Amino acid sequence: MFNPSFSITNKTLVNIAKIEAAEEVIRHSPLLPLWEKQFKEDAIIRSVYHGTHIEGNALAKDDAKNVLAGKEVVARPRDIQEVINYRKVIEFIDEEAKRKIEKITEQLIKKLHKIIVYKILPEEQTGEYRQKQVIIRNSATGEVTFRPPAPVEVPFLMREFVYWLNKENNDIHPLIKAGIAHHELVRIHPFIDGNGRVARVLATLILFLGGYDIRRFFSLEEYYDKDAASYYHNLQKASAGDLTAWLEYFTYGASIEFEKVKEKILKLSKDVKLKEKFGGQQIFLTERQMRLVEYIQEVGYIQNQMFKEVFPDVSEDTVLRDLKELMNKGLIKKVGSTKSARYVII
């Protein structure tokens, strides 16, 4: 029977409190549909890039972004396919969460694997448990750092793990459950390849289902990739049996990401007067655009000949582009049609 050993420390509780506070702000922050879409797309790009980069994918972030946009990229075919697959698996768990699936089954976990390794592993190994022993080595020294369970044990361990995930009396906090699931799937190492990606996606799905979706704006993968050595060290340390330190690490990483998203959203509404003027809606503005709006609010208008006063080092064309964007967003309007035209708040 799978029965994870761990303690809930003050560190873990503080991390969870920070996550819940950030989640509350994010959930109740009104955003224009366009910016909500861009936040989600940014989270997907970060998840895809960092979720594959941590496994050795050589694509630069811009190249990964171009692959997702359907553009031609010169790179190793496997790297390109990994990025495509990770995007598809994120879209898949998003749909599963929207359907509010009641259970996480072995079939679902195998489906995650099948999507992640499509066209990377031979067909007979996709979505199937491994049939041979594998070992994990330190990439720098070649030293064996972890020996996963024998293949004959995998089906039994996975059944026990999935049973634990779906226990009706399992009142474990979703963040703790996601962290435990992440580690246990890596520990069992049920597949010949792609286990880390499946574990991270499964943890994200558990958070989605547990109500911690924060509008699909977050990427757990980025925190792990920024210090991969620490990520793997904490996973390995937990394999000794006690998950306490791993859960501190896991919840801390989530708190960093949730806080980052919260700060980004709060930045969109830092001009309280502007927010109130437009019915409480948050409008995403760049620093320059925010300065333009503030100036127009203070002076009452702005004209071309006043640009240098506000932005001494910015070209007239650049300021005009910013003003055009503000007009497109319905924040200001142009009065007149010559160079003496004024831009005023609507």
Q: By C-alpha distance, which of 304, 317, 311, 320 is closest to 287?
A: 311
Q: Bridge-partner residues for 290, per DSSP?
A: none
Measured between alpha carbons, how far apart are the two ends of the chain, in Å? 65
How many residues does the structure list for the chain?
346
Q: What gap in Å lies between CA 150 and CA 243, rounded to an integer?
A: 22
The pLDDT, as a whole number, for residue 274 is: 56
CATH number, domain 285-345? 1.10.10.10
The neighbour count for residue 228, using CB atoms within 10 Å, is 15
The CATH architecture of the domain made up of 10-268 is Orthogonal Bundle (1.10)
Per residue in 7-42, pLDDT tens? 999 999 999 999 999 998 888 776 666 677 888 898
- Can you give the pTM of this predicted structure? 0.79
Helix-helix angle 10-27:244-268, to 10 degrees: 30
Residue 345 β-bridge partners: 332
94 CB-near residues (< 8 Å, 6+ apart): 208, 216
Nearest to 183 by CA among 240, 105, 113: 240
Please give the full DSSP string across 306-344, using - where no structure is assigned.
GHHHH-TTS-HHHHHHHHHHHHHTTSEEEESSSTT-EEE
Q: Indicate where the chain has its CATH 1.10.10.10 domain(s).
A: 285-345
What pLDDT score does 272 carry? Answer: 45
pLDDT-based confidence at residue 76 (cuts at 50, 70, 90): very high
pLDDT at 149 exceeding the cut of 90 = yes
Cα four-point dihedral sign 165, 123, 63, 224: positive
**Which residues of the chain does CATH 1.10.3290.10 include?**
10-268
Q: What is the pLDDT of residues 253-284, one digit of tens each?
A: 999 999 998 888 876 655 444 555 555 555 66
DSSP 5: B
For the chain, percent of residues with pLDDT exceeding 90: 64
